């Protein structure tokens, strides 16, 4: 009898332990499924990654604001999800954080591209824009640039030869003057200066108050030098005008077709960098628009290629900076929220985005920040 009771008790305990084990395994599977599917657990605080780029994202003394910030807060309220902001330096560092799973959502002016889509998931587009070019309003041809153009065109070498000829003629005149003109200064420096003045006067004006070299040879030499002078002055004038004209044309930037052979800046990790790389245009990378604009005004670069709204916003809010945008929009693109691959959160976000598109609340938010223009 006791043996039967003991066996029943042991059997019951095994059954209970087996049920508990099954329940534990199911709970573990459910937890793992949330993790593997990118689905946040109930009550989990989402990490929302972003970077400062007005007017989409701006940190105003610890208070987040901007078009994308307002849009995310609206969606988060609709799906009743707690969240916290996590800031990064730029798009490049933020997108790397998405790939590593450091954030649940990336909320900023991030373009949807085929290259990025291989590494992460995107929501439906919520904003349409493109790239533009920013240049300095005080673009002018400087001496160093002109000298470089003279050297590249080969004219500087010719002018150098002319100067050597001028020096040689000056020495010849000085020797002749010492021989035939008793009033000629006896000092070397004074004599060279007197001869140089005489030679340059004939070269530029075709005449001089200096006493001419006597004899037929002297007259012949003077006439020949006058002809050389007129030709030299005409050549130098034509070359200077040509170089300055071509330099001014070279400096003009009116659109993307003018970016070849220019020093171009853009923001690291942004679609501007992708575009320039695709067009085989070398570029300098900056962390943000203010840093790039500073390099532009200091003439370290010739132009900035970046998202049109960010450039236009910077220009409008920094009237003291001599910058402006040129050309039309190009390389059209759309922005979306970014998620780690396999995240199920994007389905909830997409659903709320579609509702905001249907009830026109997304359009009203866009008009609030950007007006009626598109």
Q: Rounded CA gap, 147 and 167, in Å? A: 22
Q: Rounded CA gap, 225 and 296, in Å? A: 48
Check: CB of residue 77 under 8 Å from CB of residue 133.
no
Check: CB of residue 98 under 8 Å from CB of residue 106.
yes
Q: Rounded CA gap, 347 and 120, in Å? A: 14
Cross-strand bridge partners of residue 284: 265
pLDDT attached to residue 209: 59
Q: What's the pLDDT tens digit per position in 264-323?
A: 999 998 999 999 999 999 999 999 999 999 999 998 999 999 999 999 999 999 999 999
pLDDT attached to residue 254: 87
pLDDT attached to residue 54: 92
By CB neighbour count within 10 A (0-12 exposed, 13-18 middle, 19+ buried), where does 136 fall?
A: buried
pLDDT attached to residue 32: 42
Give the chain's residues under pLDDT 70: 1-43, 139-156, 158, 180, 182-183, 202-236, 238-251, 372-374
Q: What's the pLDDT tens digit per position in 159-181?
A: 777 778 778 777 877 777 777 67
pLDDT attached to residue 2: 45
């Amino acid at each position: 009898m006791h043996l039967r009771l003991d066996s029943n008790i042991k059997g019951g305990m095994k059954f209970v332990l087996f049920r508990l084990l099954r329940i534990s395994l199911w709970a573990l599977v459910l937890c793992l499924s949330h993790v593997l599917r990118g689905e946040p657990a109930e009550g989990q605080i989402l990490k929302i990654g972003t970077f400062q780029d007005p007017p989409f994202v701006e940190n105003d003394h610890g208070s987040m604001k901007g078009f994308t910030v307002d849009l995310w807060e609206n969606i988060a309220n609709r799906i009743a999800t707690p969240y916290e902001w996590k800031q990064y330096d730029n798009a490049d560092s933020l997108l790397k954080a998405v790939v590593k799973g450091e954030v649940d959502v990336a909320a900023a002016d991030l373009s949807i591209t085929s290259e990025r889509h291989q590494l992460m998931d995107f929501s439906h587009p919520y904003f349409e824009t493109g790239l533009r070019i920013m240049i300095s309003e005080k673009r002018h041809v400087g001496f160093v640039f002109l000298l470089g153009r003279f050297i590249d065109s080969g004219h500087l070498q010719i002018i150098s030869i002319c100067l050597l000829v001028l020096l040689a003629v000056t020495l010849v005149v000085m020797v002749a003057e010492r021989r035939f003109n008793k009033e000629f200064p006896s000092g070397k420096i004074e004599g060279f200066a007197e001869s140089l003045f005489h030679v340059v006067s004939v070269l530029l004006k075709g005449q001089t108050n200096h006493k001419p070299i006597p004899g037929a040879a002297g007259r012949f030499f003077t006439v020949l030098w006058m002809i050389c002078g007129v030709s030299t002055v005409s050549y130098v004038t034509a070359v200077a005008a040509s170089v300055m004209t071509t330099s001014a044309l070279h400096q003009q930037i009116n659109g993307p077709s003018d970016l070849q052979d220019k020093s171009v800046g853009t923001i690291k990790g942004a679609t501007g960098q992708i575009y320039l790389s695709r067009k085989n245009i070398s570029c300098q990378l900056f962390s943000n628009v203010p840093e790039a604009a500073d390099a532009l005004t200091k003439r370290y670069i010739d132009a900035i290629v970046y998202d049109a709204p960010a450039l236009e916003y910077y220009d409008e809010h920094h009237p003291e900076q001599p910058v402006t945008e040129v050309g039309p929009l190009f390389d059209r693109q759309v922005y979306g929220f970014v998620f780690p691959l396999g995240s199920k959160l994007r389905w909830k976000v997409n659903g709320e985005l579609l509702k905001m598109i249907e009830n026109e609340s997304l359009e009203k938010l866009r008009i609030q920040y950007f007006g009626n223009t598109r």
